[in-house]
A and B are shown apart, each in its own frame.
Chain A
Amino acid sequence: MAVRQILLSTELPVVACCATGCLEVATTIYPFSAWEIPFIHNAFENSAATISGIETMYRALKKRGKIPADRRIGFIAFGGDGGTYDIGLQALSGALERGHTFTYVCYDNEAYMNTGIQRSSATPVGAHTTTSPCGELEPGKRGYKKNLTQIVVAHDIPYAAQSTPAYYMDLINKANKAIETEGPTFLNILAPCPRGWRADTTQWVELGKTAVETCLWPLYEVIEGKYVLNGVTQRIAEGKAEKRPLEEWLRMQGRFRHLFTEKNKPVIQSAQAKLDKDWERLKAMASL
């Protein structure tokens, strides 16, 4: 869903690279390919490195006159939270630091979904996954979700943003900006996975909206270092809309069901406290 919106957002012809994961295996089962644009899948952790090579060849061939000087092509690297937050972090950091002109799109469904819902550093605290299951001793994943957007912003790139497909205009606008901006750009997209999150498929839009309305997944951009809050997130910051309690998000999903016991209540409390702290910090950054 998000991919289609992203590709629709720009008139530039685009070459895409995708890391191993749900997106790639679902869209390219030989002899079929859902991609009507040039596409490459290389390996799991190297989407950003692969796109670096493609983008560099484009510049090399332009320099030699083998590609017309006025031909603009966009380069998009896709990766799940698996191929981005964890195993793909090195390649992403390298590509951002070298300054290639490309857009990295992370579709974050908060676990290694393709291989069977295993925990990633993007998995929220308390979530049950197959490698961080809730059991007699453990309350699901220990440790908070890594803030990848902040790590990317620390690379001082021209544009980074968070979005989610439930707010499709937000996503399309951000994708358009990201793809058309010179230099490295980054989109971190919360991609609800009803299967992995143990929710009904019909709920996926509601899940996205709730994540934003609880300020768990704020919609924001960092444009040349300047923080801008968007849409609902901005209205909540201004006090014009309600910030919903995290519990409402947790109740929607089976992966958090075990948290609603006396024993595990502290997990919810600490998760809410962390969320609030991060939200205050984001608002402070946006007010600079």
Chain B
Amino acid sequence: MEMPKTLPLNGDDAAAFAMKQIDPDVVAAYPITPQTELMQSFSQFVADGEVQTELIVAESEHSALSACVGACAAGGRVMTATSSQGLAYMWEILYIAAGYRLPIVMNVINRTLSGPINIHCDHSDTMGARDSGWLQLYGENPQEAYDNTIQAVRIAEHKDLRLPVMCCMDGFITSHAVERVDLLDDSVVKDFVGEFAPTHPLLDIEHPVTYGPLDLYDYFFEHKMQEIDAMSHAERVVREVSSKYSKVAGRPYGLLEPYGMEDAETAIVVLSSTAGTTRVTAKEMRQAGRKVGMVKIRCFRPFPRDDLVKLLDGVKAVAVLDRSDGLGAYGAPVFNEVRNALYDHDRRPEVVNYVYGLGGRDIGQADIASVYADLADIASTGKVRQRVRYLGVRE
């Protein structure tokens, strides 16, 4: 049977399909809504022999990622997926995976962190891991979930990087919404990711290595600098791999995705599926003659400071939409990074923050339009009435 070029897939299945084509050596995972469909799809591929992957159905996420660390250090390609509490349960191991320079690729289906418990989308889970040493790519829709998963493998394994990568997608909104996904041929994917080249594998018994020694204050800092140095190459690596993928797939990928920024006077900075809602709203407003724009952050870690500053140059007012909050901080995570990036810039715009969509609270075009209206007000008056606002909550 000929390979389908296009399939109707939700985000979970799109990522699972990409994993199928990648055919990693080991996957260790534990179910959690809304990641479950992804692992169930993949488990069926394993059961039907469509992949050679050895699957560990772990007894918890902590053990799942621990097994991934063991498997990757042993010397092969390893992938997994989780959400929310699962990511939180893995938390200590995230830092170990990055510290040991293990190129694990994990899909994180964004779901809010308890409590109270809620299975719907916000970014509190992955935002909590933003300093862990993992790269973070946010996919707007099932197509991007598919494409990001494939690129992530090559990014993680790049010889100048060797750091783990999270591919994030919005829980339910993307993971469970069926859209048209254009697929690459199996051979094209295999070719793109290439063969896994292990560095210091545990299973090379002729050359024994010690992973994870006790590293006291006389050496730890220098070792941490090696990891920090690796992350300093991340922007270049993401750019390179994305560019190569764009040529192969015929779909453009970079660190940021601008819309209408050529002449925008006001702009919204946003991640993930809300970028779709924003783009549609911005398009309608532009057709009505309003000079509005949007910058979607696709690659949040590493944070693409220089490109962002360039795109926002000359803009009068910027609203950063955050789907999580930083309790006790002055504004939410993405707002902080955007405003910080602009601080040194001469022509920096007025930057405001909207925290929205917590626990899956819906955000629609009317909400986005109201943000653009606020921005227009700021641009014309030069006044900011409230720096940080909460969008879509009942007062």
Contacts and interface: CB of A to CB of B under 8 A. Distances in A.
B185 interface: no
Interface string A37-57: 111111101101111111011
B381 interface: no
Contacts of A53: 26, 28, 56, 66-72, 74, 78
Contact of A49 (B67, B74, B204, B215): B67
B59 A45 contact: no
Interface in B61-114: 62-64, 66-76, 78, 92-93, 96
Q: Which of A13, A15, A38, A51 has the most CB of B within 10 A?
A: A38
B363 interface: no
A58 interface: yes
A264 interface: no
B14 to A, nearest CB: 24
Given A50-B67, A60-B26, A90-B63, A40 B208 contact: no
Q: Which of A28, A40, A45 has the most CB of B within 10 A?
A: A40
Contacts, number: 161
Nearest to B25: A60
A86 to B, nearest CB: 14
Contacts of B68: 53
B117 interface: no
A61 B208 contact: no
Contact of B70 (A36, A50, A67): A50
A143 interface: no
Given A15-B202, A38-B208, A49-B66, A56 B56 contact: yes
Interface residues of B, number: 44
Contact of B210 (A35, A45, A63, A91): A35
Contacts of B74: 15, 53-54, 57-58
Contacts of B72: 53, 57
A45 B66 CA distance: 10
A274 interface: no
B52 interface: yes
B71 A94 contact: no
B368 to A, nearest CB: 43
Given A57-B76, A59-B54, A64 B205 contact: no
B101 to A, nearest CB: 13
Q: Which of B28, B63, B71, B93 has the most CB of A within 10 A?
A: B63
Where chain B touches its partner, the secondary structure class is mixed
B210 A94 contact: no
Contacts of A98: 56-57
Nearest to B95: A43
A73 interface: yes
A38 B209 CA distance: 5
B26 A29 contact: no
Given A24-B214, A53-B67, A61 B60 contact: no
A51 B203 contact: no
Contacts of A149: none
Q: Which of B26, B72, B216 has the most CB of A within 10 A?
A: B26
A151 interface: no
B214 A61 contact: no
Contacts of A17: 70
B311 interface: no
Interface in B211-231: 211-216, 219, 223
Interface of B: 25-26, 28, 52-54, 56-60, 62-64, 66-76, 78, 92-93, 96, 202-205, 208-216, 219, 223
5 smallest beta-carbon distances between A and B, as pairs: A53-B70, A94-B59, A53-B67, A53-B71, A49-B63
19 contacts: A17-B70, A28-B213, A30-B219, A35-B208, A42-B212, A50-B67, A52-B56, A52-B58, A52-B63, A53-B68, A54-B202, A57-B25, A57-B76, A58-B74, A60-B52, A60-B71, A61-B25, A73-B205, A97-B59
Given A30-B214, A57-B75, 18 more contacts: A15-B205, A30-B215, A31-B219, A38-B208, A40-B70, A40-B211, A40-B212, A42-B96, A49-B63, A49-B67, A52-B67, A53-B26, A53-B28, A56-B28, A56-B54, A56-B56, A57-B72, A91-B60
